[in-house]
Structures are given as C-alpha cells and as structure tokens.
Amino acid sequence: MHTELDLAIMRRHVDCSRLLIRAGAFSRVFAGPMCEQLLHRLLLLGDGIAAELLLRNEANQVHVNKVLLDITKNMKYPDSCTFTFAGYHNPMAQHLYECVICHQTVCLVCSYKCHRTSPWKHSVQHKHHLVYVGRVKGYCGCHKVCVCARVHFCEILFFSLPCE
Ligand SMILES: [Zn+2]
Ligand SMILES: [Zn+2]
Ligand SMILES: [Zn+2]
C-alpha cells in the first residue's frame, strides 16, 4: 500500500513531500531508487533538513553516495538548473532525463520545473515528455529550449539585468 509520502513522490509534489517528511512520513512503495532521486531533489533545492530526515529513516532505503556528495559540493544556487555548475566542459554524474519531444537531456531540477511532463494529456501545456535515463554523467540541455539556466546566470552575475 502507498504511504502519503509515496503518493507525493508519485505526483512529483516536492513541497508536499517536504512537509510530509518533516511530519515523520516515510516511503514504502518508492523506497530505494525513487527516494534516492527525491533526496537529490531536496539537496538541489537546498532543503538540508528534509534531506537529513529522509536519510535517517531506514524505511526509505537511501544512502549517501559519491554522486550526491559531488553534487552537494558543486551546486552554487538553490533550486537552479544543474547547468549552472555542470556545463559542456564539466559534465557531472547526476539523475538525467531525456525529452522525446525536443530531444534534450534534462536535469532533475528542470524535470520538476520548466521541463516537466504535463499530466493532462489534452492540455496545450503538453509539450514535453520525459523518459528517465539514469544516474549518468552529462549536462542539462534544457536551456537550449527554454531560458531556465540563462535567466539564472543573469540574475546572479548581472544583478537582475534583463536577459536578451
Ligand atoms: Zn536543467
Ligand atoms: Zn530548464
Ligand atoms: Zn522537451
């Protein structure tokens, strides 16, 4: 049977997951690899508290690994496309997706935000479809089709000047 946290993971409701984890929720159906992705997502988001609680509960079957440590060490800005620290010249091992519509590799952060698959098949928003590739070395190409990474660079490096 699905736990509350399992349902939040299934629907990719990351804010919901954060609240549930703080309230002591754990995963059953999605323990292991899916929880591991959630752990990466929480750290990329900058939520160290939820990440630690998720790690501590043995039911979730998640462990710290080298990929996670490398990401934590290299990330610069919370909740931003991983292209901000892992670009063409320095690809990093991370959870990556591929969009079958625009043929781009998409990072974990973008898979939740700018590049997410719409659950509503008939919506006009249904323009991306992601397939999980794995925890592999690479970089996010999402910025080629949207402005996620570029906007972020502008905000940080150019003090919020408009990005053309
Ligand atoms: Zn990205
Ligand atoms: Zn993006
Ligand atoms: Zn796409």
The model's pLDDT over 46-58, given as tens digits with 9 standing for 90+, comes to 999 999 999 999 9
Domain presence at residue 131? yes
Whether pLDDT at 27 is above 50: yes
Residue 122 banded pLDDT, cuts 50, 70, 90: low
Spatial contact of 132 and 100, defined as CB atoms under 8 Å apart: no
Nearest CA to 19 out of 56, 50, 65 is that of 50
**Number of domains, the chain:** 2
Of all ligands present, the nearest one to the C-alpha of 141 is: 1
Domain presence at residue 70? no
Q: What is the dihedral of CA 87, 93, 98, 102, to 10 degrees?
A: 0
Q: Name the residue with higher pLDDT: 62 or 145.
A: 62
Q: Contacts for 76-80 with beta carbons within 8 Å, 24 or more apart?
A: 76/156, 77/152, 77/156, 78/44, 78/45, 78/46, 79/44, 79/45, 79/46, 79/109, 79/113, 80/44, 80/109, 80/148, 80/149, 80/152
Query: Ligand 2 mean position to 7 CA, how many Å?
Result: 25
Domain presence at residue 69? no
Neighbours of ion ligand 3 (CB under 5 A): 99, 101-102, 128
Domain presence at residue 71? no
Domain presence at residue 35? yes
Give the per-residue pLDDT at 153: 53
User: Residue 141 contacts by C-beta under 8 Å, 6 or more apart in sequence?
Assistant: 83, 104, 105, 106
Spatial contact of 68 and 95, defined as CB atoms under 8 Å apart: no
Share of residues in the chain with pLDDT > 90 (%): 70
Give the per-residue pLDDT at 96: 97
Whether pLDDT at 127 is above 80: no
Give the per-residue pLDDT at 102: 87
Which of 35, 64, 93 corresponds to the end of one domain?
A: 64
User: What's the burial of 87, exposed, middle or buried (CB within 10 Å: 0-12/13-18/19+)?
Assistant: middle
Query: Ligand 3 mean position to 21 CA, how many Å?
Result: 30
Whether pLDDT at 5 is above 90: yes
Query: Ligand 3 mean position to 113 CA, how many Å?
Result: 12
Whether pLDDT at 160 is above 60: no
Q: Name the residue with higher pLDDT: 71 or 155.
A: 71
